[in-house]
Amino acid sequence: MSSSDWSGFDVATQAVRAGQVRSAEGEHNDSIFATSSFVFRDAREAAARFAETEPGNVYSRFTNPTVRTFEQRLAALEGGGYCVATASGMGAILTLCLAVLRSGDHVIASRDLFGSTVSLFTKILAKFGIDTTFVALSDIDGWRDALQPQTKLLFLESPSNPLSEVADLAAMVELARAHGVLLAVDNVMCTPVLQRPFEYGADIVVHSATKYLDGQGRCIGGAVVARDEELYNQLFTVLRTAGPSMSPFNAWVFLKGLETLSLRMYAHSHNAMALAEWLQTHPAVIHVYYPGLSSHPHHDLAARQQRAFGGIVSFTVQGGRRQAWSVIDATRMLSITANLGDTKTTITHPASTTHGRLTDEQRRAADIGEDLIRISVGLEALEDIQADLARGLDEVAAAPLKTAHNYAGGG
Ligand SMILES: *Cc1c(COP(=O)(O)O)cnc(C)c1O
């Protein structure tokens, strides 16, 4: 079956089955085609493959069967379209930009993007005459006001990280269509199991496969999925020529990750919801940011647009950096790392890590306080995650005044 034949199936089925092509050996599991090049039956076939007048493998920078299976499976999961797999999530976003932008073009992007994505726009693409305006994710008037005649691309991440703001995808598509610009959605946080931007009419979906698609913290990879074949051809040309390619081994690991994606995304969401509700009741916690909570300003939108609320929970504690760090340092099981989307629960202090290079003013604008902690909720038992957090939180709750006098930083 080709990837399009899987369109009538549920995501859980697509995640296990779509894209597989068995070799003559009849292997049950996907095989790894660890080969850099491919041989041809004769000189005529070699010429036809190079000229692209006949389909077939040439060279693993741009044609590898294991990578192709991953591409077809991910495209099926996103609800159709055409996928280019890349060496990393950043490689995916760069491939997209090289494919659709040229010098003099303008991009509008949401302000709370992944840090390296911001740097890609401001430090690298800016060198080539591509200008980016950043606006608040949910400020639709801000996006409209930022439009220029040279605007080519709207780029957003929803929900945002770490505060889980949610973009109104239908409204963003309407804006993009009305002005003839492309809309790209970074779907890392939800994955196609929880959100399919193509259902709303988005043109492009980008992924860091490093996060939930692998889901077990093993490999770096990424992907761009385009709804339209012409756009795909532009992406493929960049991949073929510039070479930010995914390795067959990593593609195979991601295929194994995808098989459990649906199970994992609902399990992450279930744990995260329960953890967010528990955090809300803790006396040391001031505010919990999780779109599953009815207190979240975008709860209704997230409930309409997503099948569940995802695995990222952020919260503020009484005090500031000192208290936040003490909660992090009191954990014994949680992993202190900025990575996310793993079976292992991770904990991080955004203001001094992922958002550490922002100016105080930028951090204030983005609402990233010194008192903020972000959890990527894993698949351990909820009680054990809670117990690990309770140790530090109970201490903060027991000594609020003593510690509040000493806190360093803004919060
Ligand atoms: C991690 C991440 C990226 C970049 O992916 P890499 O695989 O690390 O290059 C892009 N966007 C989001 C939302 C991410 O979390």
Q: Residue 123 has which token pair?
A: 């430090």
Same domain as 221, residue 344: no
Q: Would you state the pLDDT for residue 400?
A: 57
With respect to residue 6, please indicate whether it lies within any of the assigned structural domains. Answer: no
Picking from 259, 289, 305, the residue at the C-terminal end of a domain is 259
Same domain as 283, residue 210: no
Residue 411: pLDDT over 90: no
Burial of 29 (0-12, 13-18, 19+ CB in 10 A): exposed
Same domain as 210, residue 285: no
Q: Rounded to an integer, what distance in angstroms lies between the CA atom of residue 360 and that of residue 371? A: 14
Mean pLDDT of the chain: 94
Q: Rounded to an integer, what distance in angstroms lies between the CA atom of residue 191 and that of residue 208? A: 10
Q: Which of 31, 20, 28 is nearest to 73 (CA)?
A: 20
Computed on alpha carbons and rounded to an integer, the radius of gyration of the chain in Å comes to: 22
Measured at the alpha carbon of residue 351, what is the angle toward residues 350 and 355, in degrees to the nearest 5? 70
Q: Residue 317 has which token pair?
A: 């504690």
Q: Would you state the pLDDT for residue 2?
A: 55
CATH classification of the domain holding 290: 3.90.1150.10
Same domain as 266, residue 255: no
Residue 113 Cα: closest atom of ligand 1: 13
Enclosing domain of residue 222: 11-259
Residue corresponding to tokens 């991601």: 254
DSSP designation for 404: H
Q: Rounded to an integer, what distance in angstroms lies between the CA atom of residue 289 and that of residue 297? A: 9
Same domain as 213, residue 271: no
Q: Residue 247 has which token pair?
A: 């390795």
Q: Would you state the pLDDT for residue 361?
A: 86
Residue 377: pLDDT over 70: yes
With respect to residue 3, please indicate whether it lies within any of the assigned structural domains. Answer: no
Instruction: Write out pLDDT tens, residues 311-361.
Output: 999 999 999 999 999 999 999 999 999 999 999 999 999 999 988 888 888
Cβ atoms of residues 141 and 188 within 8 Å: no
The verdict on the CB of residue 105 being under 6 Å from ligand 1 is no
Same domain as 269, residue 255: no
Q: Residue 345 has which token pair?
A: 């629960």
The residue type of 190 is C
Same domain as 165, residue 291: no
Measured in Å, residue 384 CA sits from the centre of ligand 1 at: 28
Q: Residue 364 has which token pair?
A: 């204030």
Measured in Å, residue 114 CA sits from the centre of ligand 1 at: 7
Same domain as 168, residue 23: yes
State mean pLDDT over 95-120. Answer: 96
Measured in Å, residue 172 CA sits from the centre of ligand 1 at: 22
Q: Rounded to an integer, what distance in angstroms lies between the CA atom of residue 373 and that of residue 393? A: 12
Same domain as 206, residue 177: yes
Measured in Å, residue 407 CA sits from the centre of ligand 1 at: 32
Number of domains in the chain: 2
The residue type of 255 is L
* SS3 state of residue 185: strand
Same domain as 157, residue 289: no
Q: Would you state the pLDDT for residue 4?
A: 62
Ligand 1 pocket test: pick from 124, 160, 188 the residue with the most ligand atoms within 8 Å of its Cβ: 188
Same domain as 218, residue 74: yes
Instruction: Write out pLDDT tens, residues 8-66.
Output: 899 999 999 999 999 999 999 999 999 999 999 999 999 999 999 999 999 999 999 99
Closest residue (by CA) to atom 5 of ligand 1? 89
State mean pLDDT over 160-179. Answer: 97
* pTM of model > 0.85: yes
Q: Rounded to an integer, what distance in angstroms lies between the CA atom of residue 370 and that of residue 39? A: 58
State mean pLDDT over 141-154. Answer: 98
Measured in Å, residue 90 CA sits from the centre of ligand 1 at: 6
Picking from 194, 226, 259, the residue at the C-terminal end of a domain is 259
Among 160-174, 233-247, 352-366, the least confident range: 352-366
Q: Rounded to an integer, what distance in angstroms lies between the CA atom of residue 109 and that of residue 278? A: 34
Closest residue (by CA) to atom 11 of ligand 1? 114
Residue 365: pLDDT over 90: no
* SS3 state of residue 298: coil
With respect to residue 56, please indicate whether it lies within any of the assigned structural domains. Answer: yes
The verdict on the CB of residue 328 being under 6 Å from ligand 1 is no
The verdict on the CB of residue 298 being under 6 Å from ligand 1 is no
Among 76-85, 158-167, 402-411, the least confident range: 402-411
Provide the pairing of β-strand 182-186 with 335-336.
unpaired
Measured in Å, residue 29 CA sits from the centre of ligand 1 at: 28
Cβ atoms of residues 126 and 115 within 8 Å: no
Instruction: Write out pLDDT tens, residues 297-311.
Output: 999 999 999 999 999
Instruction: Write out pLDDT tens, residues 237-275.
Output: 999 999 999 999 999 999 999 999 999 999 999 999 999
Q: Would you state the pLDDT for residue 402?
A: 54
Q: Rounded to an integer, what distance in angstroms lies between the CA atom of residue 105 and that of residue 236? A: 21
Same domain as 286, residue 175: no
